[in-house]
């Protein structure tokens, strides 16, 4: 049994120790906002925050996370001190600028963007490009960058 905090709640995890966090979130805890894309830490669809740091849940064995605090897209507003049903500013910007197309990659994009802005509230374009390495088959990269620049006060 492994104990970790997920979206502010302590959870006892029953999965095998080497189970990737992604499947614990989706299959054991029912948090399906975190997506499976590649499974090899390449696409970022599964991005969550672990102790505030963006990480790729498909490649994190849950045993390595004992005692950690995990935030998923479902818990993003509350992690910023907002009501659980509120929209995080990154989510609102994504709506305002109509960033998503099919949407599949976007929870990972939002989690990566939120972590970037938390660490660096006014990122430059090179800093955005360095931090947002998530892949999007729909090519939403220009709007992702515009939304982050707007949140940073640069657009």
The yes or no reply on residue 44 touching ligand FES (CB under 6 A) is: yes
For the sheet with 69-71, list strands across it.
9-13, 2-6, 69-71, 47-50, 53-56
The yes or no reply on residue 32 touching ligand FES (CB under 6 A) is: no
Count the alpha carbons within 13 Å of 73 in the hemisphere toward its beta carbon.
25
Compute, in degrees rounded to 10, the torsion defined by CA atoms 100, 103, 108, 114. 30
The yes or no reply on residue 41 touching ligand FES (CB under 6 A) is: yes
Contacting range for ligand FES; rule: CB under 6 A; set: 10-18, 41-49, 60-68, 83-91: 41-49
H-state helical runs in the chain: 21-23, 76-79, 89-96, 106-119, 125-131, 141-151
Min dist CB 81 to ligand FES, Å, is: 28
The yes or no reply on residue 133 touching ligand FES (CB under 6 A) is: no
Interface with ligand FES: number of residues (CB under 6 A): 23
Contacting range for ligand FES; rule: CB under 6 A; set: 6-14, 89-97, 99-107, 116-124: 99-107
The yes or no reply on residue 54 touching ligand FES (CB under 6 A) is: no
Site residues, ligand FES (CB under 6 A): 36-39, 41-46, 56, 58, 100-106, 136-138, 140
């Amino acid at each position: 049994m492994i104990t970790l905090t997920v979206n502010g709640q302590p959870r006892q995890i029953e999965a095998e120790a080497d189970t990737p966090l992604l499947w614990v979130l989706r299959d054991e805890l029912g948090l399906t906002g975190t997506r499976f894309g590649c499974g090899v830490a390449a696409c970022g669809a599964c991005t969550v925050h672990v102790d505030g740091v963006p990480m790729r849940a498909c490649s994190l064995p849950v045993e390595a996370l004992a005692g950690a605090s995990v935030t998923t897209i479902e818990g993003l507003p509350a992690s910023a001190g907002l009501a659980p049903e509120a929209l995080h500013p990154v989510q609102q910007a994504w709506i305002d600028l109509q960033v998503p197309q099919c949407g599949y990659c976007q929870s990972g994009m939002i989690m990566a963007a939120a972590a970037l802005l938390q660490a660096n509230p006014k990122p430059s374009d090179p800093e955005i490009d360095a931090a947002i390495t998530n892949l999007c088959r729909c090519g939403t990269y220009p709007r992702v960058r515009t939304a982050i620049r707007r949140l940073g006060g640069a657009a």
